[in-house]
Amino acid sequence: THDTAKAAAHYAGCPVVIVPTIASTDAPCSALSVIYTDGGVFDRYLFLPASPNVVLVDTEIVSKAPARLLVSGMGDALATYFEARACQRSNATNCVGGKTTLAAMALARLCYDTLMADGRKAAVAAKAGACTKALENIVEANTYLSGIGFESGGLAGAHAIHNGLTAIPETHAFYHGEKVAFGTLVLLFAAAVVVFLLIAELTRGQWMLAGSAVVVLAFLLWLGNRLVHVAANQNKNPLG
């Protein structure tokens, strides 16, 4: 995998060239490798001194890969903007030890806007094995905008939830981006609940506190069932 190649090159002290044949994650451009245990459970991040020396993507080859992989990459890329925004608002440090800058937020926002503009069209193209402009835009978003965006913007709840899910064997059949997408939805819903609880506290509406707990539980149960349903049918319909 990309992360294995980057880590091996780091320890060998040699350059590394990444040639992705799929666009299922933002790993190709990033200066880190994710380390897992032999059982597939997240262990730690290995932060590298630099991004790969060259990243070369042939979008014609990527377009012939299973559509589910491209859609999974969109799920990974979807987290970039929302996690960067969370880091910016909380003044958290990013993956390189700095703060979220205006440039980082611009990259993250462009990643999100590209997904919204071309994601559905790219998924249809991937299902047909066609290399279209929309598909090329999504490959750039999944691979470059998200990879540089998450490093510069920072990681937050979406990837933390993904990392926790790897400890559950039943989730190993799901791709990285599918679990990150679930984490993004939980992150956004949790943020909305915080606002709701703040309003409840300010208005002293205790009934709202009880009601919000019920809503959170019901939503997460529904979302979990929906994730399983979508993943089960992904090979038939990349749009879920």
pTM equals 0.81
Angle between helices 157-165 and 67-90 (to 10 degrees): 130
Catalytic site includes residue 176: yes
Which among 3, 26, 118, 159 is annotated as catalytic?
159
Q: What is the pLDDT of residues 53-104, one digit of tens each?
A: 999 999 999 999 999 999 999 999 999 999 999 999 889 988 888 899 999 9
Q: How many C-beta neighbours within 10 Å does residue 198 have?
A: 10
Catalytic residue among 3, 26, 76, 118: 76
Sign of the Cα torsion 119, 148, 181, 81 reads negative
179-235, pLDDT tens digit by residue? 999 999 888 887 766 555 555 555 555 555 555 555 665 565 555 555 444 444 443
Query: Given its phi and psi angles, is residue 78 left (phi above 0), alpha (psi -120 to 50 degrees) or beta?
Result: alpha
Per-residue pLDDT reduced to its tens digit, 116-147: 999 999 999 999 999 999 999 999 999 999 99
Look-up of token digits 């799901």: 174
Q: Is-catalytic flag, 159?
A: yes
Q: Are 2 and 142 a contacting pair, CB within 8 Å?
A: no
Task: Say which of 2, 26, 118, 162 is annotated catalytic.
Answer: 162
Catalytic residue check, 2: no
